[in-house]
């Protein structure tokens, strides 16, 4: 899933200092122009608490739901993420600093040409799109919590075209050390897993994981696809397509199958 991969990949990191807009703009511009991205990331990491995104919030302390649904249609995920951050700020949530936004959007942009993003339907489906709300109890991005749920409640699966030889060539070139079963043309989740495994090796993963869990319910997006009549019937998270009902239904043994990515 292109997706999610760098979905997510970047999705997470950055402390927001409580400064005036002018001060913040000056600070972010200076940081970006004088510091390599890796170095600026390390600087941000030093500012953050040992356990980020762990504000203890009651149901009533969360904001309203943000209107933007995180969806991956035709590479619009980056723009939607930026819009979501703008919404978050407008309702009182803290947002990443500019260096962090630059890092995150760079990681997401890298996967925008992936097979999953290329083939996913225009509208949310399969419990894959997510909406969020926040609880802000601190003075920076890390000292708050998010919660999320599916934008789509119908259970209708995402009907996606099977991957082609070109798609597998793309994945082999992007992840040369990974193994992809070319006979399984609906194995979109394999790409997500490979990309997320790469992300897990990053020194920034301890910052990423808590937010990923709050955004997706697991530490990475999970896409379960089944071939049916020439199409990949895909559902996300703890759901899979049922041939009997033709809908996305809860998976058995979900937490066992994906134990590595449980929160």
Residues 6 or more apart whose CB falls under 8 angstroms from that of 3 comprise 72, 77, 111, 114, 116, 117, 192, 221, 223
Distance of alpha carbon 92 from alpha carbon 36, whole angstroms: 30
Q: How does pLDDT run along the chain (263 residues), one tens digit per residue?
A: 333 333 333 333 333 332 323 333 333 333 334 456 666 666 666 666 667 888 888 889 998 888 878 776 655 667 777 777 788 888 888 877 777 777 777 766 666 667 877 788 888 899 988 888 888 877 778 788 888 999 888 899 999 999 999 888 888 888 888 888 777 899 888 888 888 888 788 877 887 788 888 888 899 889 999 999 999 999 999 999 999 999 999 999 999 999 999 98
Tell which residue, 71, 67, 109, 57, has the closest CA to residue 88.
67
3-state secondary structure of 19: coil
pTM over 0.75: yes
CA–CA distances in Å: residue 55 to residues 93, 131, 134, 215, 216: 12, 19, 10, 15, 18
């Amino acid at each position: 899933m292109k997706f999610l991969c760098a979905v997510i990949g970047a999705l997470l990191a950055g402390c927001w200092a409580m400064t005036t807009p002018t001060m913040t703009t000056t600070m972010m511009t200076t940081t970006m122009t004088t510091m390599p991205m890796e170095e600026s990331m390390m600087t941000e990491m030093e500012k953050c608490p040992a356990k980020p995104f762990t504000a203890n919030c009651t149901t009533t302390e969360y904001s309203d739901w943000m209107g933007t649904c995180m969806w991956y249609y035709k590479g619009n995920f980056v723009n939607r993420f930026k819009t979501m951050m703008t919404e978050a700020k407008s309702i009182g949530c803290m947002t990443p600093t500019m260096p962090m936004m630059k890092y995150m959007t760079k990681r997401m942009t890298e996967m925008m040409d992936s097979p999953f993003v290329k083939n996913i339907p225009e509208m949310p489906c399969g419990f894959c799109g997510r909406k969020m709300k926040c609880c802000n109890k601190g003075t920076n991005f890390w000292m708050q919590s998010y919660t999320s749920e599916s934008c789509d409640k119908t259970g209708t699966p995402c009907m996606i075209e099977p991957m082609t030889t070109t798609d597998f060539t793309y994945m082999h070139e992007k992840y040369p050390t990974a193994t992809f079963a070319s006979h399984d043309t609906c194995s979109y989740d394999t790409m997500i897993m490979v990309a997320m495994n790469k992300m897990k090796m990053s020194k920034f993963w301890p910052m990423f994981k808590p937010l990923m869990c709050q955004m997706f319910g697991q530490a990475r997006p999970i896409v379960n696809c089944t071939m049916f009549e020439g199409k990949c019937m895909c559902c996300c998270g703890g759901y899979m397509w049922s041939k009997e009902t033709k809908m996305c239904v809860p998976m058995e043994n979900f937490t066992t199958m994906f134990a590595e990515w449980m929160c």
